[in-house]
Structures are given as structure tokens and as C-alpha cells.
């Protein structure tokens, strides 16, 4: 049988397609040596998108790693590498750039911010502008941060739980912790007079949180298929409903108003009280202004606003989820409440009766004293380990051909990612990895501890690691110390506390109601 000549182009195209999508990935690609998490991963990304769509990525990829080793192929150009020296250290400390995922998911006002830059040079210029205000020494010596602790923790949070406790009523703590973390950080960011009051002002809380979380059920489209979502939108098909935009815009406006008010405050000739300094905003504005610019100049308004939104949103959701899991674990392990209360005996905190009056900044311990408490630190570390607020893969782009996870010739352009969820469940480093065991941070030998710290990845690592980790420890430690100095806690009711399976995640059921039982110290707590 003779083949008609006109079929030749068609056959060539088919042959090329066969080679590119079947023969090359299975036989010739350097990635062909890496075990595939699922047979289809060599040819297409359907499997990983299915896991993302059905919210089972982190768990499934973890299980596959346990069976197949620390390197896995998740898609034709997507690798999951969950090992330290030949993985995390090279990728993240090595500064592999971020892919478009971050712009798709986290650009605010459609404008780049510190979290979204793909270009390393642009990112490090932006980070340099602001990073000194996030250093540990700056945060722990900042009068504005201290005033925020006084106002938000002792002035709002404790009175709310004290009142509930005296009436024997439960308190839903997830919303409270979001509000606490937001109010504390926003006061540091914009100063006392422009701070938020999500704890007491339920209208403000609803406006911001409803707006912020509105896109969540549709994040799959926003993160992974933004072009498709935009195209369909143009022909009237809304994968992300229009109401989401309206709600999210309200949260964006809320942030922009704060930025504009802070700029006006700084431009005015009125003296600014030390508590009212808009610390983070001022640093961003100054760094982005000409050195000899006028006091009223307001350059790069939307860039600054996008950064400010990125900061506060990164601060409140992660810290709020962590604090909530910490309370949850403390209720399930009451012996740790006792241990912590013992430890808090030597720390200066307001006495029970003091809570009835206005607390002053001198009434509570210095950050360095709180920071030096080993039990408190162990409880926080263990919560961040078991319930990481960013459990999902943190994608990066391979900049040039390299070896990773034991495999050589990984091509430039491959997306590689590690997961805190998986690293934190490595049994060789964290024995009994699914158990909440603060003791592991107290009993470990120096070598074991050093290894655990290397694998601890709640804040990521390298140049793109969390800028706010010092502030997060600062605000979380004060909260936990103040609560357990005065109360014991028990669970009253709860939703599903399992961790959502997503990039950023809190409890699936979004609800934890606690009872706070007064437990005043008889010891010398204010000594
Ligand atoms: C428990 C609290 C927190 C946790 C677990 C956490 C975790 C993380 C992680 C894992 C990343 C890297 C994400 C990635 O690259 O995919 C990150 C980045 C970031 N976080 Fe946090 N964070 C916390 C609190 C905060 C706070 C309080 C702030 C306040 C400003 C903050 C601001 C940021 C910013 C701006 C980035 C981007 C840094 C960059 O790309 O240079 N975070 N955080």
C-alpha cells in the first residue's frame, strides 16, 4: 500500500507531537529519571490540578514522598523537592526566583508588591527599603509596637475574654485572633490613631474580613488559570463572581484610606505623638521618595498601598491561624497549660485585679523576657511545625540547569517547590511527626536541635523568607503569655480543626469556641 504524499506533513506533525509529549518525557528528558507521583505527571498536569481543585494536594504529595523518596515529578515541568541540603538550601537560600503564581494570587490593585516580584533585583531593592523596621531589635525596642500590645492585647483582647469568662460564655477565637493580629500589626504599621479596631468594631471586622476572604472559594482560578478566568469574564462567564470583586475592593479601599491618612499625617506640620508614628508606612514612603523631595510628596502611591496590604494580610491570617491552633492544642494537652503557667510566674504581667484598670506600658514584661521563656517558645515552635500557616508548595523557577534532590541536569525553567507540610513531617527529623509534642524542642540534643531548626520551615528561608517573622513571634508570644497567665482554657465547641489543604491554610471548620476559666496567680507574677 502506498502512502499518498499529501499525508506526509500530517504524519510529520504527529511524529513530532509523539516525540515531544510521549517519547521525550519518558525516555530522554532529564526529568524522566525522577519518580512520577502519578503516571500521568510525565505528560500533563491534570493530576496535580485535580488535587488542587479537590483540596488534597499537600496530603497526597506527602504520602507519595513517603513512598517514593524526597524528589517527585508532579507535572511535566514541576518538581516537588523535600529534602534540606540538596533541595531547600539550594532552591530557597540560593534565591531561585518566583513564578507568576505570586502575581496572580497576591497582586493588590493589580500592582506588584514585595510578595509578588518575579525579578530578584526588583524584589531585593523593595525589601531593602523596609527590612530594618522588621528586624528583631527594631520590633522589640519599638515604642509603637509596645503601645500596640498595651492597647490591643491588654486594652481589648483580655477585657473581652474576661467579660465572657465572668458570664461563663464561650468565645470564638479564630475571628478574635485574626482581629488581634490585624489590630496589633496595623497599629505598628500606621500608628495608634490610624490603627484598626477589628476586635471591638464588628462592622470594621466584617468589612475587612468578608472582603479579604471573598475570593477564597475561587482561588483555584485566580492562582492557576487567571488568563482563562479573564477571557471568560470578557464574554460574560464569571468563574469568579462579580460580587467577589466588589467585596475585595472594599478591603482594598480600607487599606488605601489608611495609607492616604498616614501620608497626610506625615505631611502635616503637627507634631506626631510617639505612639502615633506610622512606622512601616513612613519607612516605605521615605524610601520611595526623592531624598530632597517635599514633605507632602506622595510618590508611588499604589505601590506603597499594595505593599501595605500585602504586609497586613500576610500578618493577620498566618498569625491568627497559628494562635488558634495553639489554643486548640493547649486545650487538648492541659499539662502544657500548667507548665506554661509555672514558667510565667517569674514574668511581669498585670495581676488579675489590674485588668480592671487601664494597663500602662510599664505594667508588663519587656519583649526580651517574654522571648527568653523556653516553654512558651517550644509551644509556639511545635504549633508552627505541626500546623504551618503556609503548608503548601512554595514554587520557584530553576534559573539555570542544575542538580537537585539527587538528580542532575534539571532544566532551566522547571518549577520546583518544597512544602512546609511535608518537611515538618519528616520522621527522621521530627519523630512521631503527627503528634503535637513541644517537649521535642526542650529535650533535643544540640545536634538534634540544630537539625530540627534547619528543617523548620514555617517562615520559609532565603531572600524571600517571611519578613514579618520577628513581629509574628513578638505578637504571638505576648498573646499566649497574657492569656495563660490569667486563664485556663477548654474547648466548648468547634468546627473541623483539620488543616485545610491549600497553599495558605487554617482550620477547615473556621470555628473554635473556647471557655476561659479564671486562674489568677497566687505566685509572684508581677515580681
Ligand atoms: C505565624 C506567622 C507567619 C507565618 C507562618 C508566615 C509565613 C510566611 C512564609 C512561609 C512566607 C514565604 C511564602 C512563599 O514564599 O511562598 C512568608 C512571606 C512573607 N511574609 Fe510572612 N508569615 C507570618 C507572619 C507575617 C507577618 C506578621 C508579616 C508582617 C509583615 C508577614 C509578611 C510577609 C511578607 C511581606 C512576605 C513576603 C516576603 C518576601 O517575598 O520578601 N508575615 N511568610
Q: 252 lies in a domain?
A: yes
Q: 50 lies in a domain?
A: no
* Domain boundaries, position 110: 77-518
Question: Which tens digits make up the pLDDT trace of 415-474?
Answer: 999 999 999 999 999 999 999 999 999 999 999 999 999 999 999 999 999 999 999 999
Residue 290: pLDDT over 90? no
For residue 469, the CA-to-ligand 1 centroid distance in Å is 7
- ipTM (interface predicted TM): 0.98
The contacts of residue 357 (CB under 8 Å, 6+ apart) are none
What is the percent of the chain where pLDDT is above 70?
98
Residue 522: pLDDT over 80? no
Q: 62 lies in a domain?
A: no
Residue 527: pLDDT over 50? no
Q: 9 lies in a domain?
A: no
Question: Which tens digits make up the pLDDT trace of 222-254?
Answer: 999 999 999 999 999 999 999 999 999 999 999
Q: 138 lies in a domain?
A: yes
Q: 239 lies in a domain?
A: yes
Nearest CA to ligand 1 atom 37: 115
Range in 36-40, 468-472, 516-520 the model is least confident about:
516-520
Q: Give one DSSP letter per residue of 36-80, joined into a string.
A: BSSGGGGT-SHHHHHHHHTT-HHHHHHHHHHHH-SEEEEETTEEE
Q: If we measure between CA atoms, which residue out of 281, 324, 319 comes closest to residue 183?
A: 319
Q: 525 lies in a domain?
A: no
Backbone angles phi and psi of 116, in degrees to 5: -105, -15
- For ligand 1, residues with CB inside 6 Å are 114-115, 127, 185, 310-311, 314-315, 318-319, 322, 389-390, 394, 458-460, 464, 466-468, 471-472
Check residue 2 and report its DSSP letter: P
Average pLDDT score over the chain:
94
Range in 362-366, 414-418, 469-473, 493-497 the model is least confident about:
362-366
**Higher per-residue pLDDT: 502 or 351:** 502
For residue 314, the CA-to-ligand 1 centroid distance in Å is 6
The contacts of residue 22 (CB under 8 Å, 6+ apart) are 43
Question: Which tens digits make up the pLDDT trace of 336-345?
Answer: 999 999 999 8
Nearest CA to ligand 1 atom 24: 315
Q: 67 lies in a domain?
A: no
The total domain count for the chain is: 1
Q: Give one DSSP letter per residue of 329-358, joined into a string.
A: HHHH-HHHHHHHHHHHTTS----TGGGGS-
Per-residue confidence (pLDDT) for residue 3, from 0 to 100: 61
466 is in an annotated binding site: yes
Q: Give one DSSP letter per residue of 289-315, joined into a string.
A: S-TT--TT--TTHHHHHHHHHHHHHHH
Distance, in Å, from the CA atom of 193 to the CA atom of 142, rounded to the nearest integer, reads: 16
What is the percent of the chain where pLDDT is above 90?
87
Helix (H, G, I), strand (E, B) or coil at 491: strand
Question: Which tens digits make up the pLDDT trace of 94-148?
Answer: 999 999 999 999 999 999 999 999 999 999 999 999 999 999 999 999 999 999 9
Amino acid at each position: 500500500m502506498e502512502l499518498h504524499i499529501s499525508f506526509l506533513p500530517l504524519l510529520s506533525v504527529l511524529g513530532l507531537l509523539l516525540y515531544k509529549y510521549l517519547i521525550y518525557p519518558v525516555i530522554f528528558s532529564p526529568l524522566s529519571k525522577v519518580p512520577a507521583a502519578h503516571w500521568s505527571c510525565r505528560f500533563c498536569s491534570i493530576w496535580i490540578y485535580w488535587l488542587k481543585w479537590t483540596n488534597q494536594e499537600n496530603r497526597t504529595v506527602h504520602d507519595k514522598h513517603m513512598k517514593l523518596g524526597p524528589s517527585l515529578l508532579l507535572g511535566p515541568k514541576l518538581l516537588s523537592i523535600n529534602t534540606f541540603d540538596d533541595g531547600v538550601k539550594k532552591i530557597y537560600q540560593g534565591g531561585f526566583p518566583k513564578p507568576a503564581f505570586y502575581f496572580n494570587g497576591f497582586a493588590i490593585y493589580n500592582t506588584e508588591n514585595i510578595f509578588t516580584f518575579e525579578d530578584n533585583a526588583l524584589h531585593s531593592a523593595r525589601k531593602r527599603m523596609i527590612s530594618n523596621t522588621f528586624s528583631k531589635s527594631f520590633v522589640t525596642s519599638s515604642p509603637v509596637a509596645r503601645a500596640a500590645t498595651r492597647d490591643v492585647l491588654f486594652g481589648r483582647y483580655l477585657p473581652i475574654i474576661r467579660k465572657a469568662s465572668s458570664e461563663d460564655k464561650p468565645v470564638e477565637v479564630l475571628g478574635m485572633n485574626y482581629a488581634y493580629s490585624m489590630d496589633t500589626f496595623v497599629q505598628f504599621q500606621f500608628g495608634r490613631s490610624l490603627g484598626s479596631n477589628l476586635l471591638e468594631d464588628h462592622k470594621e471586622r466584617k468589612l475587612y474580613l468578608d472582603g479579604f476572604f471573598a475570593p477564597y472559594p475561587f482561588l483555584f482560578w485566580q492562582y492557576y488559570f487567571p488568563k482563562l478566568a479573564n477571557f471568560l469574564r470578557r464574554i460574560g462567564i464569571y468563574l469568579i463572581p462579580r460580587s467577589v470583586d466588589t467585596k475585595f475592593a472594599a478591603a482594598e479601599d480600607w487599606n488605601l484610606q489608611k495609607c492616604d491618612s498616614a501620608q497626610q499625617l506625615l505631611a502635616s506640620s503637627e507634631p506626631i505623638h510617639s505612639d502615633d508614628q506610622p512606622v512601616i508606612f513612613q519607612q516605605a514612603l521615605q524610601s520611595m521618595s526623592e531624598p530632597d523631595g517635599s514633605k507632602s510628596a506622595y510618590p508611588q502611591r499604589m505601590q506603597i498601598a499594595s505593599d501595605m496590604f500585602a504586609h497586613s494580610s500576610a500578618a493577620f491570617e498566618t498569625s491568627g491561624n497559628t494562635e488558634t491552633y495553639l489554643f486548640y492544642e493547649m486545650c487538648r494537652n492541659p499539662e502544657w497549660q500548667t507548665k506554661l503557667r509555672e514558667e510565667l510566674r517569674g514574668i511581669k504581667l498585670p495581676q488579675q485585679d489590674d485588668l480592671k484598670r487601664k494597663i500602662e506600658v510599664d505594667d508588663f514584661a519587656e519583649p526580651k523576657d517574654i522571648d527568653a521563656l523556653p516553654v512558651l517558645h517550644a509551644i509556639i515552635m511545635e504549633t508552627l511545625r505541626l500546623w504551618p500557616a503556609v503548608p503548601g508548595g512554595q514554587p520557584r523557577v530553576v534559573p539555570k540547569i542544575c542538580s537537585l534532590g539527587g538528580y542532575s541536569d534539571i532544566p532551566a525553567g522547571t518549577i520546583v517547590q518544597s512544602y512546609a507540610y511535608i518537611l515538618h513531617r519528616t520522621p527522621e527529623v521530627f519523630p512521631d511527626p503527627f503528634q503535637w509534642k513541644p517537649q521535642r524542642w526542650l529535650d533535643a540534643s544540640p545536634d538534634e536541635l540544630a537539625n530540627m531548626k534547619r528543617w523548620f520551615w514555617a517562615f520559609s528561608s532565603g531572600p524571600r523568607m517571611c519578613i514579618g517573622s520577628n513581629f509574628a513571634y513578638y505578637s504571638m508570644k505576648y498573646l499566649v503569655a497574657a492569656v495563660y497567665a490569667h486563664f485556663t482554657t477548654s474547648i466548648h465547641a468547634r468546627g473541623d480543626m483539620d488543616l485545610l489543604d491549600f497553599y495558605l491554610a487554617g482550620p477547615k471548620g473556621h470555628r473554635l469556641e473556647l471557655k476561659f476559666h479564671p486562674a489568677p496567680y497566687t505566685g509572684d507574677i508581677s515580681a
